[in-house]
Chain A
Amino acid sequence: SYELTQPPSVSVSPGQTARITCSGDALPKQYAYWYQQKPGQAPVLVIYKDSERPSGIPERFSGSSSGTTVTLTISGVQAEDEADYYCQSADSSGTLFGGGTKLTVL
């Protein structure tokens, strides 16, 4: 069955760049979306259609796509960016989430 694969964890120091990948065979044909989830909270959309940023999301969040892999990049990571990040894709019949990546700010 189709899956979206993310690394379980990524660690960076404040001010550095964090890159979180999401791989899936359908990603060349489907857009990917990224959510940020902090403990005890519902997820919040931070990137849509691979690289678009919703209003209110800081410019340090960006997305890119290459083949079967999409990447969420957080430039100049801040302590407040420590969270779990999930990629999502969808077709007309359903939605799929990746396994999530815990971003730790050292």
Chain B
Amino acid sequence: QVTLRESGPALVKPTQTLTLTCTFSGFSLSTSGMCVSWIRQPPGKALEWLARIDWDDDKYYSTSLKTRLTISKDTSKNQVVLTMTNMDPVDTATYYCARMSSSSWPTFDYWGQGTLVTVSS
């Protein structure tokens, strides 16, 4: 059974750095073809893909946000971490992590429940 769960602060201040952790089970990110992405959704707005990390540690970032994002993985802990620097109120959103596998590529076959991050002073 594949599950993903996002964790991190619910509230961050402007200019701070956000660190989110995706803890997953039911698959290994060392398995060929496995990938985990971060996707966010501001309240009432559209989905926005942020970053992806692959089983071979290749990393990909949204062009518009790449200077602020870092994605990493800890295969032994079954975790993927996303950091976003210089947070702004417009970054207020629900942040999801989602799995992409070789059989589902390029779609996301499993999603976490999402975690709402509010940026406010």
Contact = CB atoms under 8 A, between A and B. Distances in A.
Question: Are A and B genuine complex partners?
Answer: yes
Contacts of A100: 45-47
Nearest to A37: B47
Given A33-B106, A43-B111, A94 B49 contact: yes
B107 A48 contact: yes
Interface in A58-106: 86, 88, 90-91, 93-100
A95 to B, nearest CB: 4
Interface residues on A, range: 20 to 34
B106 A95 contact: yes
B31 to A, nearest CB: 18
B62 A94 contact: yes
Contacts of A12: none
A10 interface: no
Contacts of A98: 46
A99 B46 contact: yes
Given A42-B96, A42-B112, A42-B113, A94 B107 contact: no
Query: Which 7 residue pairs across A and B have the least CB separation, nearest first?
Result: A90-B106, A42-B111, A95-B49, A100-B46, A97-B47, A99-B46, A33-B107
Interface of B: 37, 39, 45-49, 52, 60-64, 96, 98, 105-109, 111-114
